[in-house]
Amino acid sequence: MRTRCIPHAWPAMVLSLGFAAHAAADVIYSPAVEQGETAIEWRSTLNAGGTSEHKLEWETSPTAWWRTELLATATLAPETPRRWDEIAFENVVSLNPQGRDAIDFGVLTEISRSLHGDAAWAAELGVLAEVATPHTVTTLNVSSERALTAGAPVAGAFAARWRWRRGARFEPGVEYHANVESVEHMGSVRSQRHSFGPSVLGRIRLGREVLRYEAAWLVGLTQGSPASTARLQLEWEFR
């Protein structure tokens, strides 16, 4: 039954703009891959109400079309123990060279495993797209994630960001994130998560190394959304 539903879920996700994974990692992936880049990254997403998710990752790009990452995730809630609760292996594959076509495309794949409970595995698949003009970059991500256990729902995610390339150290923009717990039972728009808000990105050179940052403040647009979400991402790129 489920195998018949999954292909129909993708167009439903795209049309409804109700998406993203239940883990709600507010990350926006570019399909562009920078060959030779190696970095350590910290991502934090903090929701109003006290829940938060933190990821520590190591990434490297062996080629101009492949970026691979190892991640550890801690999801925290009030009165829960502080511990790592998931590890993941993530890959971004660029499908066309940056700038060759009007739209740059890529694919995101992730396999993750819970470190507690039933130690369940989960898989995520996403499509990444980016359009750049001399002064702006627009990035779109559509993805779905499913625990590899019988009867588990397929979660969906959509994220979009527009940014103004006004200078390497400070690029203002806006971003939007949407999540549904199950693309097969999407429910009303009010029950889904839809968040929107301003963001800033930048990179600061420190000798031979580079510190990249992203930060965003998202406001929930529906009852199913956190009232507000703060997102912070720091990447230390070294050679």
Residues lying near another protein in the complex (CB under 8 A) are found at 34-37, 64, 97-100, 132, 134, 137, 165, 167-168, 208, 239
Could you tell me the smallest distance in angstroms from the CB atom of residue 212 to another protein? 11
- Say how many C-beta atoms besides its own lie within 10 A of residue 172's C-beta: 15
Minimal distance, residue 140 CB to another protein, in Å: 17
Nearest residue (CB) to another protein, 30 versus 229:
30
Choose between 30 and 47: whose C-beta lies nearer to another protein: 30
Name the residue nearer to another protein (CB basis): 64 or 129: 64
Rounded Cα distance between 165 and 201, Å, is 9
Residue (106 or 197) nearer to another protein, CB:
106
Instruction: Evaluate whether 158 touches 141 at the Cβ level (below 8 Å).
Output: yes
Cβ-based nearer residue to another protein, 1 or 102 = 102
CB of 207 to another protein, least distance (A): 11
The residues facing 41 across adjacent strands are 57, 235
Minimum CB distance to another protein, residue 34 (Å): 5
Q: How far apart are CA 70 and CA 88, in angstroms?
A: 6
Whole-number Å distance between alpha carbons of 81 and 72: 16
Q: How far is the CB of 33 from another protein (least distance, A)?
A: 9
The two three-digit tokens of residue 59, written as one number: 């990434």
Helix (H) or strand (E) holding 13: helix 2-16
